[in-house]
Structure 1
Amino acid sequence: MKSPILLWIVKLVAVVILVQTLFFKFSGAEESVFIFTKLGIEPYGRIGSGVVELIASILILIPRTTLVGALLGLGTMLGAIFSHLFVLGIEVKNDGGELFTLAIITLLCCAFLIFHNKNKIPDLLRFKI
C-alpha cells in the first residue's frame, strides 16, 4: 500500500474504538459488568480483556509492533464477536447492536493491518535467544 495516510486512519479507527471501551471496562460500568457476568467471567474477564485491548492499542500505534498489536486486537475482537453471536446476542441492553458493530469494524481494521504487515509474519515465527 502506498498511502501512509490511509494506514494511519485504519490504525486510529481501531485504536479509538479499543481505547473508548476501556473506560467502561475499567470503571465497572453497568453494561460491561452485565456483559461479563453473562459470560461468567466478571470481573477478571472484563479487566483482563481491557488490559489486552490497552496493550493492543499501544502496539498498533508503534510501527515496529503494529502486526503484534493487530493480532492481539483481532483475537480479542473474535472473542467479542463470538460472545455476541453465541451468548449475548447482537443487541445488548438495547444498544441497537452498537457494540457488535464496533467489534466488527475493529476486527476489519486489525485484519487490514495484518494483511498490510504480512511480510513481517515470518519474523514473528523465528525464535531468537
Structure 2
Amino acid sequence: MRYIPHILAIFASMIFIDSLRFKFTDHPNTQEIFNRLDVWAGSLGAQGLFAHTGLFSQYVIGSAELVASALLLLGILPALRRLQAIGALIGLGVMSGAISFHLFTPLGTDPNNDGGLLFVMAVCVWLSCATLIVWRRKQLANVLRGICKAVFSA
C-alpha cells in the first residue's frame, strides 16, 4: 500500500512526459488537435485561444504537464511529499480540461485515429491524479493553509 502513490505519480509523469515530444516539436498530431480546437474556439468568438501563441497553446499545456510531472516525481522523496499533492492538483486540472475538450467539442474521443487511446490515457491520468489528491489530502490542506495564511495575514 505504501508504494501506491509512487506508482501513480510515476505513471502520470510518464504519460505527461511522453506527450511532450509531440507538443514541443509541433508534431502533426498535435497540430491537428490544437487547430481543431482553435477553429471551434474561433466559432465562439475566441479566435487564437489554442493557436501557437494562445492562452491554451500546446506549449502552455505542455509546460503545465512538465511542471506537474516534476512535482509528482519530486514528491516521491519523503521531505517533499507536499509537492506531489500540488503536482496532482495541476495534473487533475490539465486532464479535466483535456477530457472536457474531448467530450464536449468537435475534437471527439479519437482525433488522431488511434482508437481513442489519447482519450483513455487522459482518463487514466485524471484518475491517478484524483487518487493522489485524496491520498495526499493532508499535505495539500497544509500547503493551502500556508498559502492562505501568507496571503491574508498582511
TM-score by length of 1: 0.93
Q: Where in structure 2 are there 5+ consecutive unaligned residues?
A: 39-49
Cα distance per residue 1:24-71 (max 9 Å; x no partner): 000000010111111111213100000000000000112220011000
The aligned runs of 1:1-129 (5 Å cut-off) are 3-40=1-38, 41-44=50-53, 45-63=57-75, 64=80, 65-87=83-105, 88-126=107-145, 127=148, 128=150
Greater Rg by CA: 2
Size of the aligned set, in residue pairs, is 127
Greater helix proportion:
1
In structure 2, what is the Cα distance between the partners aligned to 1:118 and 1:104? 21
Which is further off, 12-21 or 34-43?
34-43
**SS in structure 2 at match of 1:36:** helix
Q: How large is the Cα RMSD of the aligned pairs?
A: 1.2
Tell me if structure 1 keeps the 8 A contact 2:86–2:140: no
**SS in structure 1 at match of 2:3:** helix
Tell me if structure 2 keeps the 8 A contact 1:33–1:43: no
What amino acid does structure 2 have at the position aligned with 1:25?
K
Q: What percentage of residue pairs aligned between the two structures are identical?
A: 36
**SS in structure 2 at match of 1:39:** helix
What amino acid does structure 1 have at the position aligned with 2:9?
K
